[in-house]
Amino acid sequence: MQNRNLNAVDYSEVVAGNRTNPRFDKQPPGGGIGGKIIKDKLFYYGNFEYNPLGQASIPGQPVDAPTRRASPR
């Protein structure tokens, strides 16, 4: 389990003027189940894991793509 409230604030964030951590929450739930079908011969087992990750998105800078110039006619 990782949570922004459990982590220390990074020094680079303090220098930038941020006193709290950006969002980063990772709490993966899951489970498993198994058992015997025929004693000492046949078994089953199943496992499930889900890995959600919550992060803050930081808006990027707009990127201008070069375009073709119109040719004179």
Q: What is the pLDDT of residues 41-59, one digit of tens each?
A: 999 999 998 877 666 666 6
Query: What is the average per-residue pLDDT within 22-40?
Result: 86
In the three-class reduction of DSSP (H, G, I as helix; E, B as strand; rest coil), residue 13 is classed as helix
Domain for residue 65, yes or no? no
Give CA–CA dist 39/30, Å, rounded.
Answer: 27
Domain for residue 37, yes or no? yes
Domain for residue 34, yes or no? yes
Domain for residue 68, yes or no? no
Report the chain's mean pLDDT, rounded to a whole number: 80
Domain of residue 32, residue span? 11-51
Q: What percent of the chain has pLDDT over 70?
A: 79
Domain for residue 43, yes or no? yes
Domain for residue 31, yes or no? yes
Task: Tell me what pLDDT residue 68 has.
Answer: 73
Domain for residue 42, yes or no? yes
Q: Give the total number of structural domains in the chain.
A: 1
